[in-house]
Amino acid sequence: MDHRNRLQELDALRGLAAFCVLLFHFTINQNANKLGWQFDYGVTGVDIFFMISGFVIFLTIHKIKRWQEFVVFRFARLYPTYWACMLLTTLFIFIYNPGSFDPIQFLANLTMVPVFFSKEVLDGSYWTLVVELLFYFWILLIYVSKTIRYIVQIGIFFTVAIVSFHYFESYYHDFYWITVRKVPLLSHFPLFFSGILFYNLKFKSFSFKTVAVILLSMAASVYLHDKGGNAMFSTTALEHQLILIFYHIVFALFVLNKLTFLVQPPLLFLGKISYSLYLLHQFIGVHLITTFNETWHLNIYLALILTILICVGLAYLVTNYLELPAIKYIRNWYKTRENKDAGSDAQALLR
């Protein structure tokens, strides 16, 4: 089964989601006044990112032979690109606001989990990365414990436990807010779980039970609207909840092979550079728009378009000249090491 050819729709969705988040950050605050509008719904792009991650990571976990492979391959996918984008963002911080640079904050951000060190993210977009890492850790524990075949039951348990944790927060108010801040996956887990369930629906047999659990997971996501994440600050509860339902419908269409119309070169291109684009766009882009509009006196729309082109160009360069080569190099290094270890074990058995 060639999963790669069957996931192009998700690549396109990922590209759309990244562009929506970019438009959100570029059209809010002072830019909203200049443009006369703002794309508030773009903030929900991270929700479909999480659903895609649930789907794709569950696919990945089925392909690995050892847990070390999962760790190395995830590291290769995330960290080199993240560090490169972080360094570029830091360069722009020195250009625009050098007094705000905090070396301890910088070092904490290198880990991708600065919240564990009580430090803020260097760029606002980085808040989702700890959510992703916590999900990876969760699914890795399930893999290591050899309970992956029970992942639906485990996911149901966690979903119910998380909703209950939020529902009864008045009984442990201080502990609740500390925990939600340190473990933000608690506010987004059902979205990842929905991705896993849609994987089962697409690549395993159709089941009304799976559909019922998807509805449970979707309801949990709807309930968690105001329990974490940034969407609660930019959309009403009803708006966000309807969008979450819409995203689940989109995934259902994907399962039914009804999203092939999205497989277009521009969207696939955005999907390819989406990780770099997501990491690079916020601090750099917002300040570039201000420079072009207020310092160079360009029309706000021209400033917006020019900034988008620059951010896309930077993301393209990082993706093609760092992200993809780094992934290839680290994966080849791991496979070479695995082959050497396997050869050594074979020789030891022959002695």
Q: Which amino acid is at 181?
A: R
Within a 10 A sphere around the Cβ of 145, how many other Cβ atoms? 10
* 348 assigned to some structural domain: no
Amino acid 2: pLDDT: 45
* 293 assigned to some structural domain: yes
Return phi, psi of residue 78, to 5°: -100, -50
pLDDT band for 21, please (50, 70, 90 cuts).
very high
Read off the tokens for 309. Answer: 């082109």
First to last CA, the chain: 40
Q: What is the mean pLDDT of residues 297-312?
A: 98
Amino acid 339: pLDDT: 81
Amino acid 338: pLDDT: 85
pLDDT at 214 over 80: yes
The mean pLDDT value of the chain amounts to 94
* 287 assigned to some structural domain: yes
Q: Which domain holds residue 294?
A: 5-341
* 29 assigned to some structural domain: yes
> How many domains does the structure of the chain reveal?
1
pLDDT at 168 over 90: yes
- Distance between CA atoms of 200 and 279, rounded to whole angstroms? 30
* 346 assigned to some structural domain: no
245, 190 in Cβ contact below 8 A?
no
Cβ contacts of residue 54 below 8 Å, gap of 6+?
Answer: 135, 191, 192, 193, 194, 195, 196, 198, 199
* 349 assigned to some structural domain: no
| Count of all residues that appear for the chain in the document | 351
Q: What is the mean pLDDT of residues 260-268?
A: 96
pLDDT band for 309, please (50, 70, 90 cuts).
very high
pLDDT at 341 over 90: no
Q: What is the mean pLDDT of residues 184-207?
A: 95
pLDDT band for 14, please (50, 70, 90 cuts).
very high
Helix axes 300-318, 274-290, angle to 10 degrees: 150
* 260 assigned to some structural domain: yes
* 268 assigned to some structural domain: yes
Predicted confidence (pLDDT) per residue in 76-133, tens digit: 999 999 999 999 999 999 999 999 999 999 999 999 999 999 999 999 999 999 999 9
Q: What is the mean pLDDT of residues 22-50?
A: 96
Q: What is the mean pLDDT of residues 317-332?
A: 97
pLDDT at 347 over 70: no
Read off the tokens for 126. Answer: 């980085």
49, 291 in Cβ contact below 8 A?
no
Amino acid 5: pLDDT: 53
Q: Quick one: three-class SS letters along the chain?
A: CCCCHHHHHHHHHHHHHHHHHHHHHHCCCHHHHHHCCCCHHHHHHHHHHHHHHHHHHHHHHHHCCCHHHHHHHHHHHHHHHHHHHHHHHHHHHHHHCHHHCCHHHHHHHHCCCHHHHCCCCCCHHHHHHHHHHHHHHHHHHHHHCCCHHHHHHHHHHHHHHHHHHHHCHHHCHHHHHHHHHHCHHHHCHHHHHHHHHHHHHHHCCCCHHHHHHHHHHHHHHHHHHHCCCCHHHHCCHHHHHHHHHHHHHHHHHHHCCCCHHHCCHHHHHHHHCHHHHHHHHHHHHHHHHHHHHHHCCCCHHHHHHHHHHHHHHHHHHHHHHHHHHHHHHHHHHHHHHHHHHHHHHHHHHHC
Residue written as token pair 């420079």: 291
